[in-house]
Structure 1
């Protein structure tokens, strides 16, 4: 082993630190009463899936997370791989403390220099950072793995996994997840309230003047949420009604204006037609006089021009009256289409909203029945706790053993727990039916 050359000041600091650490490690290695040791500490052996942590006192930057791979090996810095599967942590710690002090740790200083530090056996700490999980199967709400911690009992593991599966008893159906059902119930209640509020709005659009009845909305909605839904729909109705009234008023104004213009132009066309008729008669009279050489040609030209002008003016006024009449008729048709289209669209939307609301109502009833069935089953299960059968499958030196477990039995990492609720499904159905009455 090669020792590093250091200054006296650094040596003194290093010696002081080592003395303090030595005293700490000596106190840490004093015997511990047997009653204070967990059963896990005496019988647990490392396997693939465990994670251990290596740290060295005095070298805080050395803190390594080391997983145990599928081959049962753990890769340590400087040392390399060690076969740890099947070994107790104390055995692995002994191997590491025997081999790691053969190396010198070099650390780079702030001034880009290197300092070397010897690694002492009593400075090496090795602990289990993460245990491999336990696995739950059978009549459990969420089957699968549960993170292990020392002292974990079957009761606690089942609680983390959502409790016993009650709806699946006797028929191997998927488990009831109460939390998800409750969230689903709230989501359905919100959507139902939205559709119900939309139905109210559409009924008012159709002129039915329906008032809001809060008792018809889901009771599990908070007043704040319900108020927000109703306020939004009321605002929608107000804006929609305002837009409709504005468009309707504009068309009514167009109709009134076109009607008045049509009347004026019709009267004007009648007057100008009569004037054109008189000008035409005057032109015929002047032409007769011109033939008798009683009027000059200029007079004929003047009268003819006046007759053509009055006739043209009468025709233009008549066309304008026809156009005004068409504008009047088109505005009336637009107003009728506005009324009809609005009612048709509202009626169609109302039919769809009612159908969707009924579908949501059916889903809500189903979710409520499932929750009630779960509650009834839970009550029955509490009364029949003796009918819960639990088996623990645990690996040991002889392979795998099957143990009979109870709810307060402590588990070990890697245990597989199988739960069987020996309860007649008809009993739960009867309890659920009673709860729904």
Structure 2
């Protein structure tokens, strides 16, 4: 038989537990006390003096947390104290059922101050940018920006992480890479100019200069000669096809106009022939005309009607030809524009990729001096931007390296080169 008894919590347990909670809050500091819970935080619920009552629950993506006997609460964007106050208010007067190892049921009515909630595991922080090992880091109270950057391997350009001494072979290879990227960028830029001139039909457009592209005048002249040749070919082909279609359309429209005029004349002639046929038929009826004359009038009407049908058929075919040629001209212009737009977009991507290669090669060449970091040369501290979530969204903060981070912070580290502006 299961025994049931009501149990109150010893005051000694409450005092010890509350003392530990107070000590933890003092260690966390005022900044963490003001921290607002976010999805991903793991909370621990305990009842002072009740052994093995601890329950851990994670704040879900909707911001809710299930606190066992006391139900589900919305925790996101609330401080721990705000959540605890609501839980204590809702739990006031509730009875908690607990079974002992012997199967005995204890009915416990905790006082509000016996309920304890704390953060068992904060959501991680994220370090990105110019650090050796970007990624997630576990949060711990008292962690500063300087410590977080150190745990991430220190402020250092990941591209230059392996450079510790000046290597002539590397310098030569990066110099060649840079020169190749400059040439590719110049070729793509001149191709962009040529495609833009073709698209706008601005054949007097001024190309980019050698100084602008960073190449020698001789190389510029050879590259420009090739693009000018392609531009001339495209110009001639475009004008030739357009002139052919325009002439064909003009001829078809002229034929339609002539056939229309012939149609009107034949209609008038047919009307006249039909009147003559009717008049001769009337004379024949009255015995005033010969039968041969009536047959002649009838034959003339039939011939005129037949010719009119032929002209109308030719006119219909002519109108269809005009429609076809107009559509062909529209399709020619649309296809021409689409092809050049696609080619220009491809050239733009190639120019951008070459620009990135130029920048990387320049960066690597200058990165040989990163060995001075290990030698103790006076290098400026990194610039740091912290992205912190608040109730309204994400806040962008510029903090000092000795400022403390908060759970869920995203830390962006930037190395400023010589003469670079410092974020204030």
TM-score (norm 2): 0.47
Greater CA radius of gyration, 1 or 2? 1
Larger RCO of the pair (alpha carbons < 8 Å, separation 6+): 2
TM-score (norm 1): 0.46
